[in-house]
Amino acid sequence: MFKKWFGKEKSDSKSSHSEESKLPEIIQQKLTELEKVLNHERKAELLLEAGSLYLELGKSDQALIYLEEAFESEECPREVQVKLMNLYNTKRREALVSGNNQLAETYSNKIEGLLKFAKDSIRNSHY
């Protein structure tokens, strides 16, 4: 039956058995490498892309979720900060127009936090 499924007969030799026992380990190593790439190297980029697409659809609340997560990642592209700043300003204006001063204050604080982060980044990059 093994031959029917896989096109070869199952070998009872020790060499093929040891190769088969190493397979899960090799697969796990590859998965670990992929997770590192996705979680660190490209995570911010992919989150930025998702946030940008939601912005294009006019879904700013969903865009905020992805952009804020991209901002929190280790490799935050500058574009994330720019998009967040624009989105926070838009949300703050909307809150003011609707009379929700508490929400406007929340977005003002987020804007101040982004500005502080940008200033700190500039200072740290010169040293």
CATH of the domain at 110: 1.25.40
Residue 83's pLDDT band (boundaries 50, 70, 90)?
very high
For residue 108, tell me if it sits in a domain. yes
How far CA 109 is from CA of 31, 78, 117, 119, in Å, comes to 40, 19, 12, 15
For residue 23, tell me if it sits in a domain. no
- Whole-model pTM: value is 0.65
pLDDT (tens digit per residue) in 18-35: 666 777 888 878 777 777
What lies within 8 Å, CB to CB, of 46 at 6+ separation is 38
For residue 61, tell me if it sits in a domain. yes
> 30 is written with which tokens?
């590859």
Count of structural domains within the chain: 1
| Cα–Cα distance, 6 to 96 (Å, whole number) | 66
CB 98 within 8 A of CB 104: no
Residue type, 25: E
- Structural domain including 93 reads 40-125
